[in-house]
Amino acid sequence: MTSGCSTGYAALGTHTATVLINGVEIGERLPVRCEQVEWTWRIETLESAPGFVAQIQTGDSIIARGVQIEELGGFTGSYWAGTVGQADADISDGTFRITGSAEGYYHHDPSEDATADFVIRTDC
């Protein structure tokens, strides 16, 4: 019998995401899990913080439904369609991209409400 092991998320076939907060890439690519139920995709980081959860509706049109950002680029906040922030989503060549603004706070001053621009890209 032969056995082997490999390290890292690539060995598991896990997807990764690139995240920018206010135009600045947060650093290393984050490992994500992608799940599709009918026309809705849920994309979430494997670690809850720092990380994010996003929902995108596909079909005749592609719509960002929600994004929750936790401790990325010093920011925690959210976007929810029709209520908080704004966002757009698209899929091109198998890459999901969500761009918009979220409302929340920066960790250096959590008492003050703030807005941050974000971009999330992944190849689910």
pTM of the model: 0.86
**Quick check: 64 and 96 in contact, CB under 8 A?**
no
Q: Give domain status of residue 2, yes or no.
A: no
Q: Which residues are within 8 A (CB) of 91 and not within 5 positions of it... i.e. 6 or more apart?
A: 58, 62, 97
Q: What is the average per-residue pLDDT within 9-16? A: 62
Q: Give domain status of residue 3, yes or no.
A: no
DSSP string, 16-69: EEEEEETTEE-SSPEEEEEEEETTEEEEEESSSSSEEEEEEE-SSS-EEEEEEE
Q: Give domain status of residue 7, yes or no.
A: no
Instruction: Please state, rounded to an integer, the average pLDDT across all residues of the chain.
Output: 90
User: Domain span at residue 94?
Assistant: 15-122
What per-residue confidence (pLDDT) applies to 6? 37
Query: How many angstroms separate the CA atoms of 111 and 121, rounded?
Result: 30
Work out the pLDDT band at 3, boundaries 50, 70, 90.
Answer: very low
Q: Which residues are within 8 A (CB) of 86 and not within 5 positions of it... i.e. 6 or more apart?
A: 79, 100, 101
Q: Give domain status of residue 22, yes or no.
A: yes
Q: Please tell me the total count of domains within the chain.
A: 1
Q: Give domain status of residue 70, yes or no.
A: yes
Q: Give domain status of residue 62, yes or no.
A: yes
E strands present in 58-122: 63-72, 75-80, 86-92, 95-106, 109-122
Task: List b or e across 99-109, with b for residues whose CB sees 16 or more CB atoms inside 10 angstroms.
Answer: bbbbbbbbeee
Percent of the chain with pLDDT over 70: 90
Q: Give domain status of residue 30, yes or no.
A: yes
Q: Give domain status of residue 1, yes or no.
A: no
What per-residue confidence (pLDDT) applies to 46? 93
Query: Tens digit of pLDDT for each residue in 48-58?
Result: 789 999 999 99
